Amino acid sequence: MRIFLIVYVLVIVSAVSILGFRGSLTEKEPVEVFNDMDRQAKYKPQAENSFFNNRQNDRLPPALTVSRGSALDTSDVFDDDFIALSSDQVLLLEGKNLDGSFSEQFPYEVNYEFMQYGQKNYNIFCASCHGVAGDGNGVTKPYGILAASYHDDRLRNEPDGYIYDVIANGKGLMYGLKDRLTNEQSWSIVLYLRALQRAQNADQSDLSLKEKSKLGL
C-alpha cells in the first residue's frame, strides 16, 4: 500500500509538472481532445488553401469585373432608361461632375443623423491622424505622421467632391480608404468634416443672444 501511495503521488506530481496549470501562456497549438468535425475541408474567409499558389483562399476579383454592392442596382441597370453613367452615379461614386471636375453637390440628404453617422466614422478612420477636432494633431503625430489640418482657407473652399475624392483615393502621403468605407460612409465623413470646419471657424457673431449669455460673453 505504501508503495502504491508513493507511486500515486509521484504520478500526479509529474503529470501536473508536465501539463502545467490552466491559463498559462503557451506557444503550443491547442490540442483538440475530441476533434469530431471541428476542422472541415471547406472555404473559410481569409483562410489558407493549398490549392492556390499563394495559398490564399480569398481570390482577388478578376480584371474588368465589378464587385457587388457598388451602388448600381441590378433592376436599374436592366431598365430601359438606364444611362451607364448618370450624373448622380458619378457624383455618388467619384464626387465628380460628368465633365470630370469636382462636384459642389452632396448626394445624400443633409441632416443631423447623417452628420452623427459621419462623426462615428470620422472618429474611427480619421481621428487618429487628423485629430478629433480635425486640426492635424492626432495621437499618431508624435510618431511622425504628417496629417493636414482642415482649418485653412484652401480646404474650406474646396468642393465637397474633392474631399470625397481624397477620402476614397488618398492624396500625397495619405492612403485611400475606399476599400474600407462604403460611399455612404465616405460622404458622411465629408459632412462631418464640414461641420468641424464650421465649428473651428466661428466667432461671437455666430452665436444667438441666449448662447452668448450662457457663455458669459
Q: Which chain residues interact with other proteins by CB under 8 A? A: 1, 4, 8, 11-12, 15, 19, 21-33, 36-40, 42, 44-46, 48, 54-56, 60, 123-125, 128-129, 139-140, 143-146, 173-175, 179-180
Phi, psi angles (nearest 5°) of residue 11: -60, -45
* CA separation for the pair 197, 180 (Å, rounded): 24
On whether the CB atoms of residues 133 and 200 are closer than 8 A, the answer is yes
Cβ 142 to other proteins, closest distance in Å? 10
Residue nearer to other proteins on the CB measure, 8 or 82 = 8
Q: Which amino acid is at 13?
A: V
d(CA 7, CA 27): 31
Instruction: Tell me the C-alpha distance between 12 and 6, whole Å.
Output: 10
- Residue 173 Cβ vs other proteins, minimum distance, rounded to whole Å: 6
* Residues constituting the chain: 217
Closest separation between CB of residue 147 and other proteins, Å?
A: 9
Do 163 and 106 contact (CB within 8 A), yes or no?
no
Whose Cβ is closer to other proteins: residue 100's or residue 142's? 142
Is residue 151 classed as helix, strand or coil in its secondary structure? coil
- Measured from the CB of residue 121, what is the shortest distance to other proteins in angstroms? 9
Least distance (Å) between residue 81 CB and other proteins: 31
Distance (Å, whole) CA 31 – CA 19: 12
Residue 23 is placed in which grid cell?
A: 491559463
Choice between 27 and 80, CB closer to other proteins: 27
Which of 38, 109 has the CB closer to other proteins? Answer: 38
Our CB check for other proteins shows the closer of 9 and 110 to be 9
Which of 58/76 has CB closer to other proteins?
Answer: 58
Nearest CA-CA partner of 20 in 6, 8, 28 = 28
Q: How far is the CB of 15 from other proteins (least distance, A)?
A: 7
Check if the beta carbon of residue 149 is closer than 8 Å to that of residue 136.
Answer: yes
